[in-house]
Amino acid sequence: MEPLSPQPSRLAPPPVVRLGGVAKTYRSGQIDVPALKGISLEIASHSFSVVIGASGSGKTTLLNVIGGIDSPTRGSIEVCGQNIGELDDNALSDFRARNIGFIFQTFSLVPVLSAYENVEYPLLLVGAAASERRERTRAMLDAVGLAAQARQRPNELSGGQRQRVAIARALVKGPQIVLADEPTANLDSATGASIIELMHRVQAQSRTTFIFATHDPQLMSHADRTFTIRDGELVDHRSGGKQ
Amino acid sequence: MTLLWRIAFRNLLRNRRRSLMTGSAVAAGALAMLLFGGFASYIFSGLETSNVQRIGHLTVFRDGYFLVGAGNPAAFGIDRYQDVMDLIARDPIVGPMIRVITPTQSLVGIAGNFSGDVDASKTFMGVGLIPSDRDRMRQWDEFGAGEVHAPDARLSDSDPSRGLVGVGLARVLGLCAPLGLPGCPPVRMAPASTGSAVPAVKQDLADLALRDLGGGTTSERMPQIDLLAATAGGAPNVVRLTVSGSESQGAKELDDNFIAMHLALAQQLVYGRGEHKVTGIVLQLHRSEDLPAARARLAALFSEHKLGLDVREFGELAPFYVQVVKMFSSIFLFIALVMCLIVLFAVVNTMTMNVMERTNEIGTVRAMGVRRSGIRSQFIVEGSMIGAIGASTGALLALAVAALINQAGLTWIPPGNASEVPLRLDVAGRPLLVIGAWVGLALVATVAAYLPARRAARLPVVDALRHV
């Protein structure tokens, strides 16, 4: 199955994600529920890509298999040049620790750690030196405007601040890809807009590939590339975010 | 503090009440184990001390005496026992371990009191000893758990005629009044004999005893009894013993039969004018921990010199001690087992609830790249931390409670003892017990956390992330 995305030009950056006929079927009791039906696509490096679709269309599942936290029933997934289907659980964990950042709809910060410690956590996983951890964590908290809240625990922060911490946590290790599942869904529109603006700015600075699953029109409007999924199938892809 | 420990500690604080309850269960377990363990240790030490004060750590016998010699001690005498004692004392290995080395003579016979209106006799089990050595042995108190006896003036190296009898024997022999023993019923006199033969025999025994002693050498105020025994050659022999006091023995059978006397008097009774031997050489060591080494060395020494001697430990001579140790050890084991089960279930329950509550968090950190082993370690560390904190609290409480009880001046009569001794809980003096209980409970808590931790580690990441 050919990928839906066009062949990259000589000048275009190489794809950071390449899916070939990826299918995922869940089993609910005696019934097989297909979530993805043979999706093939490529996502270029340094892009700000959006996956859209109705609830239950398979957006989250697509992000999960790209992120290596769910395995496809069939098909191949190449991320950052690595066929992640070949990796065992430990290798896959290490791969995620090095290359992928996650931003969740519910922020999912570790509640017993301060904002600073939450941001520092991924650097500990990749074995960064103490001085480097300190420097990068502070810089990232500065970048998301939370230097003053560094010592506060998640329950002492607002929803927007928590999502900023989550963004800082996802980016602090300099991953190749950030996967964000409905990152603005739990925020009011003003806060959501500021978060989108922040992510866009950070993406432009870090040249990290952002892949979002979203319903948020504001977020879609910032996309370099939009993928539309319906009932587990990729039905459209286009450059830019205007639908 | 690594991130793992930091997160574990903060999660314990996050669920304060739950952690407190679980930690309390561990602390209660440690408290119960240590208090009982401290009590049992004190009993062991007390019993060991009283036994070692009485019969030493080791006793050397002629081969066969331990098994069949009690019926005829005279036949199992150790020849040239002073040479054997010198050999042992001069040995460069066992010599320095020895605190007291002293000969002893066991004997059996009949004791009779035929003075005045009294006419009573009773079989006895006697022991001949050197009074000054006995005094030194009774001052041994390695563990600080026994009663340190002052020198007993009732027996004297310089007066071989003196001896002590069991309180029961004193009653039977009608010695209550002269010895000032309270609560004695009047002695039932033997019915008056119609013939003249019996009084004549009694008079003969008394005369013989006086002659063997070479006339009266002791205080006339002390009662005297006659001891009849068979010599090593099988002939009857009689000596007169001046009863300088009575001493209650732990068991009634012993109390009704016991006589302690000077070694010389015992040897005179058993060996008459023949070569004086002894049935045993008692060794009291400075430290009980030297016992196995001393025993092994003695066995080698006797074998090397082909002496035909046997060495026995006090536990073999006083099986009651071993039985008490086994009984208390079994009870301790049972208590420890119950406490460990309580801790096991408490920690499993707590950690299972923690895993359920933090399922989404588990999914998040797994997505970030934490390995399964990292999740497993996280919960195991939390379980072991609860165990360690609980066990530490329990140990501190046990030390405090033990100190309070030890200061309270309570007394009790241990099994086999005749008099009250202070009630003490030996917790502080038993670092191995404290460390053992601490490590055991912390280990149980760690093991208990393993199952929930394993379940947490095996959660599929996406399922964990979906958990609300």
A214 pLDDT tier (thresholds 50, 70, 90): confident
For the purposes of burial, counting CB atoms within 10 Å of the CB of B287, is it exposed (0-12), middle (13-18) or buried (19 or more)?
A: exposed
Asked whether residue B333 is assigned to any structural domain, the reply reads: yes
Asked whether residue B313 is assigned to any structural domain, the reply reads: no
Asked whether residue B206 is assigned to any structural domain, the reply reads: yes
CATH code given to domain A47-57+89-239: 3.40.50.300
Give the model's pLDDT for residue A241.
56
Choose one of B263, B279, B307: the last residue of a domain.
Answer: B307
Q: How many angstroms separate the CA of residue B1 from the nearest CA in chain A? A: 13
B350 touches chain A (CB under 8 A): no
User: Is A44 in contact with A14 (CB distance < 8 Å)?
Assistant: yes
Tokens for A236, please give them.
């459209």
CB contact under 8 A, A89 and B372: yes
**Helix residue spans in B73-223 (DSSP H):** 81-90, 131-137, 167-172, 176-179, 197-213
Q: Is the pLDDT of residue A9 over 70?
A: no
Mutation for testing the A interface, residue in B461, B463, B466, B467 having most A CBs under 10 Å: B461
Choose one of B279, B307, B335: the last residue of a domain.
Answer: B307
Judgement on whether residues B84 and B9 belong to the same structural domain of the protein:
no
Q: Is the pLDDT of residue A240 over 80?
A: no
Give the model's pLDDT for residue A1.
34
Domain with B86 in it: 64-307
Judgement on whether residues B155 and B301 belong to the same structural domain of the protein:
yes
The domain segmentation of chain A, as residue ranges, is 47-57+89-239
Mutation for testing the B interface, residue in A64, A69, A90, A105 having most B CBs under 10 Å: A69
Judgement on whether residues B232 and B101 belong to the same structural domain of the protein:
yes
Asked whether residue B59 is assigned to any structural domain, the reply reads: no
Contacts of B367 in chain A (CB under 8 A): 67, 69, 96, 102
Helix, strand, coil fractions of chain B, as percent rounded to 5: 55, 15, 25
Asked whether residue B58 is assigned to any structural domain, the reply reads: no
Asked whether residue B312 is assigned to any structural domain, the reply reads: no
Give the model's pLDDT for residue A235.
87
Judgement on whether residues B391 and B287 belong to the same structural domain of the protein:
no
Single-letter amino acid code for the residue at A227: F
Judgement on whether residues B159 and B287 belong to the same structural domain of the protein:
yes
pLDDT tens sequence across A42-78: 998 888 899 999 888 999 999 999 999 999 999 999 9
Sheet of A74-79, strand order: A31-44, A15-28, A74-79, A82-83
Number of CB pairs, chain A paired with chain B, less than 8 A apart? 71
Judgement on whether residues B196 and B145 belong to the same structural domain of the protein:
yes
Judgement on whether residues B8 and B75 belong to the same structural domain of the protein:
no
A67 touches chain B (CB under 8 A): yes
Judgement on whether residues B294 and B358 belong to the same structural domain of the protein:
no
Q: Which among A177-191, A206-220, B252-266 has the top mean pLDDT?
A: B252-266
Judgement on whether residues B259 and B341 belong to the same structural domain of the protein:
no
Separation CA B13–CA A240 (nearest Å): 49
Give the model's pLDDT for residue A8.
44
Give contacts of B 370-399 with A, CB under 8 A.
Answer: 370-373
Tokens for B314, please give them.
């006090």
Regions of chain B short of the pLDDT cut 70:
1, 146, 186-220, 414-419
CB contact under 8 A, A69 and B367: yes
A190 pLDDT tier (thresholds 50, 70, 90): confident
B184 touches chain A (CB under 8 A): no
Q: What Rg do the C-alpha atoms of chain B give, in angstroms?
A: 32
Tally of structural domains, chain B: 2
Complex ipTM = 0.90
User: Is A124 in contact with A110 (CB distance < 8 Å)?
Assistant: no
The string of DSSP codes covering A18-53 is EEEEEEEEEEETTEEEEEEEEEEEEEETT-EEEEE-
Asked whether residue B338 is assigned to any structural domain, the reply reads: yes
B462 touches chain A (CB under 8 A): yes
Give contacts of A 151-210 with B, CB under 8 A.
Answer: 169
Separation CA A200–CA A214 (nearest Å): 15
Contacts of B372 in chain A (CB under 8 A): 89-90, 93
Q: Are strands B98-113 and B58-62 parallel, antiparallel or unpaired?
A: unpaired
CB contact under 8 A, A108 and B361: yes
Query: Least CB-CB distance to B3: which of A90, A108, A124?
Result: A124
Residue B164's φ and ψ, nearest 5 degrees, are -115, 150
Mutation for testing the B interface, residue in A59, A62, A92, A112 having most B CBs under 10 Å: A112
Single-letter amino acid code for the residue at B335: I
CB contact under 8 A, B360 and A106: yes
Give the model's pLDDT for residue B202.
56
Choose one of B307, B334, B360: the last residue of a domain.
Answer: B307
Judgement on whether residues B216 and B351 belong to the same structural domain of the protein:
no
Judgement on whether residues B372 and B440 belong to the same structural domain of the protein:
yes
| Closest to B225 in 3D by CA, of B117, B74, B130, B110 | B110
Contacts of B366 in chain A (CB under 8 A): 69, 93
Query: Least CB-CB distance to A104: which of B3, B364, B372?
Result: B364
User: Is A221 in contact with A243 (CB distance < 8 Å)?
Assistant: no
Judgement on whether residues B443 and B339 belong to the same structural domain of the protein:
yes
Asked whether residue B273 is assigned to any structural domain, the reply reads: yes
**Closest residue in chain A to residue B11, using alpha carbons only:** A112
